Amino acid sequence: MDTMASLQGLIGGVLIGLSAVWLMATLGRIAGISGILSGLLWERPAGDTAWRLAFLVGLISGPSLVMLAGGGAGNVVAEPGAVIGAPVGGVTTMLVAGLLVGLGTGIGSGCTSGHGVCGMARLSPRSLAATVTFVAVAMATVYVVRHFPGGTP
């Protein structure tokens, strides 16, 4: 096990938790990325759009600042210290995956942040069930892609 990678994971996790607590303390909202951004794109409720746009800008500026700081605080497998890892597939794979992620998190009312972090912290039975389901299905998907005969190793 890579101790440094795990430690960075823990620090990153605490920062994500602080983000969720901050958003609840100030705006009273769940820090669910799919809900915040799909609402920003396709709903734009009055008085509820500017903070979502600001959240989106902040979300992209986080990794940008780590890159600009240049201290090698990223945690990429192939290049220690780098911040953004390369996609694992081409455009076709990503189009299929993106559609499934959007459709699934839209229908299922949340993703890794809304269900996995905030919902689990609220001890919500729906979020626990959703999290177990998407983690198990994602593991099964990776198994099929990587380990079935004919899959890419």
Three-state SS at 64: helix
Between CA 142 and CA 120 the distance in angstroms is 24
Helix locations, 70-90, DSSP H? none
Q: How far is the CB of 35 from another protein (least distance, A)?
A: 9
State yes or no: residue 149 binds another protein (CB under 8 A): no
Q: How far is the CB of 12 from another protein (least distance, A)?
A: 2
Between CA 118 and CA 129 the distance in angstroms is 13
Between CA 82 and CA 80 the distance in angstroms is 6
Q: How far is the CB of 34 from another protein (least distance, A)?
A: 5
- Return the number of other C-beta atoms located less than 10 Å from residue 49's C-beta: 13
Interface with another protein: number of residues (CB under 8 A) = 117
**Chain residues 73-102 in contact with another protein, contact rule CB under 8 A:** 73-78, 82-91, 93-102
Helices and strands (H, E) in the chain, number of each type: 6, 0
The residue from 45, 46, 57, 149 that contacts another protein (CB under 8 A) is 57
State yes or no: residue 151 binds another protein (CB under 8 A): no
**Chain residues 36-55 in contact with another protein, contact rule CB under 8 A:** 37-38, 41-42, 50-55
State yes or no: residue 22 binds another protein (CB under 8 A): yes
